[in-house]
Chains A and B, each alone.
Chain A
Amino acid sequence: GAGVSQSPSNKVTEKGKDVELRCDPISGHTALYWYRQRLGQGLEFLIYFQGNSAPDKSGLPSDRFSAERTGESVSTLTIQRTQQEDSAVYLCASSARDRGLNTIYFGEGSWLTVV
């Protein structure tokens, strides 16, 4: 597709349930990022994938959070046993990482509400 695609765009879930968020990066982009943004706050780095290298998971807030990416395509962010504090917009971004340029482009986000 032309841009980064995320689904679902909105998700309301009950506390304790698991949720899965999907990101389809721009075609050809080798790098993929997940960020979390709580209401009125900045972007919090979660995880970074680059090609077939081991992902940088240093931003994942707890072991309830995990992410996978198959090759250079779709990524899935999973949150297990959701808590109200997980309510946020989850932003996915991708970049080409070519010629030393690292401009990242964001999807529209998945808005998660835990009730």
Chain B
Amino acid sequence: QKEVEQNSGPLSVPEGAIASLNCTYSDRGSQSFFWYRQYSGKSPELIMSIYSNGDKEDGRFTAQLNKASQYVSLLIRDSQPSDSATYLCAVLHSSASKIIFGSGTRLSIRP
């Protein structure tokens, strides 16, 4: 079992709709969770971080964390073509050392 799992996609969403990206992790002791966006040929950039159960909103983005289910999600409201990218879920290992990344979900927003 991979430590951080994501559907590879591609996930195709019409412009203006809500895109929902999901991630599960295996290390129950993990405390910190991140969503990164990566455009083709570019390095990842941080979108959201979340540390507590529940929802965290920042503009059009909402991160959701459920530690009991070991599940993290990212919702993107009013999706724009510029949101088309690969979204990487990342989890800080309970050893508080390495941050492990999922393989990413490719999101495509169709006009």
Q: What residues of chain A have their CB less than 8 Å away from a CB belonging to chain B?
A: 33, 35, 41-43, 45, 48, 50, 56, 58-59, 91, 100-109
Whether A102 lies near B99 (C-beta < 8 A) is yes
Cα–Cα distance between A102 and B51 once the two chains are bound (Å): 10
Residues of B within 8 A of A (CB): 32, 34, 42-46, 49, 51, 88, 92, 95-104
Does B44 lie within 8 Å of A106, measured CB to CB?
Answer: yes
Query: Nearest Cβ distance between residue A112 and chain B, in whole angstroms?
Result: 15
Q: How far apart sit A104 and B49, CA to CA, in the bound complex (Å)?
A: 10
Which residues from A are CB-within-8-Å of B97? Answer: 48, 50, 56
Q: List 19 A-B contacts (CB under 8 A).
A: A33-B98, A35-B101, A42-B102, A42-B104, A43-B44, A43-B88, A43-B101, A45-B98, A45-B101, A48-B97, A56-B95, A101-B32, A102-B92, A102-B96, A102-B99, A103-B46, A104-B46, A108-B42, A108-B43
When chains A and B are docked, how far (Å) is the Cα of A41 from the Cα of B92? 20
A72 to B88, CA, bound (A): 27
Main SS at interface, chain A: loop
Q: Provide the residues of chain A in CB contact with B32, threshold 8 Å.
A: 100-102
Given A103-B46, A107-B43, A108-B43: A56 touches B98 (CB 8 Å cut-off)? yes
With CB as the reference atom, state the residue of chain A lying closest to B86: A42
On chain A, the residues within 8 Å of B99 by CB distance are 33, 45, 102, 104
| CB closest chain-A residue, reference B92 | A102
A31 to chain B: closest residue by CB: B97
Please tell me which one of the listed residues A41, A50, A101 contacts residue B49 in the complex, with CB atoms under 8 A apart. A101
